Amino acid sequence: MAILTGYDAIFTNSNSLTPNPTMRVRRSLLFVPGDSRRKIEKAATLGADVVCLDMEDGVALSQKAAARESIRQALQSINFGRSERMIRINPYGSGLETEDLRLTISGRPDSVLLPKVESAEALHWLDAQLTAAEQANGWPAGGIEMLALVETARGIVNLKEIASATPRLTALIFGAEDLASDIGAVRTPEAWEVFYARSAVVTHAAAFGLQAIDMVFVDFNDTEGLLRECRQGMQMGYSGKQLIHPNQIAPANEAFTPDDAAIARARRIVEAFEQHQATGVGAFALDGKMVDMPVVKAAQQVLAKARAAGRS
């Protein structure tokens, strides 16, 4: 069973209303090219929930070695504040992934993102590598989290085995651009061509107690479009958004943080539920609408997200 962390893992079972106190906030996941020390230093100050130091798509083949060394040094010397320190290595089977991990793991990142995951085998490999590194360095077992980027047709059809591969896995990330290329789809602003896969990722994440992080919005000058897509992802159940530009951090953080009205309504629902439970009443009416257990759980999730984002 996967470790329960993140917005989508607030409840330990279907009957529990106890928030998970160890949830990690991942509203904004900013990719930064690992071969640019200047960009890494800047990213560490921008307030993204996650700064992902990239060795894959954001780095040219000729710069892979430079990126590894830059990331190793950055992890050891830069203060990232409250931002999660994540690294993205190259895909399993690429011939680059082992060296990526070997030369950067000494920086003890908080998490490792594996792209183009298509099977449990890839995650088993990464889990074994991280376990060996933790044992060799005397670090806490399971302390380095794993995230799986699912962005191919084969990855989508194998979501069940991917999501259940290892307790170290804490999130699934949906990659729409690579998936569209893989299946021969044409990307559109409406994103209906990837809607099935987008839904499948968030559904499997919820089924296995994982977070789900939504696709990239490529036009970093279109703030309204970004906000619209973030809100749609939030409504689908996603916990956060992959970002490719600093301008996208504030809109993503805003979209995935409950506003004052949502928090106030959630509090009223929970308080009313507790009062009715004390008198032996199950379902009840509030503001002319029926409130039952699914509604109460949704309200608890809103409050848990607010607390995690510092809006309690």
> What is d(CA 189, CA 245) in angstroms, rounded to the nearest whole number?
18
> Could you tell me which of 145, 166, 159, 152 has the C-alpha nearest to residue 207?
159
Is 292 assigned a catalytic role? yes
> Could you tell me which of 172, 190, 191, 194 has the C-alpha nearest to residue 182?
194
17, 46, 88, 140, 279 from 213: Cα distances, Å: 23, 19, 15, 26, 40
> What is d(CA 179, CA 236) in angstroms, rounded to the nearest whole number?
19
Here the tokens at position 302 are 């809103």
Here the tokens at position 168 are 């170290």
Selecting among 127, 178, 214, 292, the annotated active-site residue is 292
* Strands (E) located in 194-258: 211-214, 240-243
Which residues are the active-site residues?
292
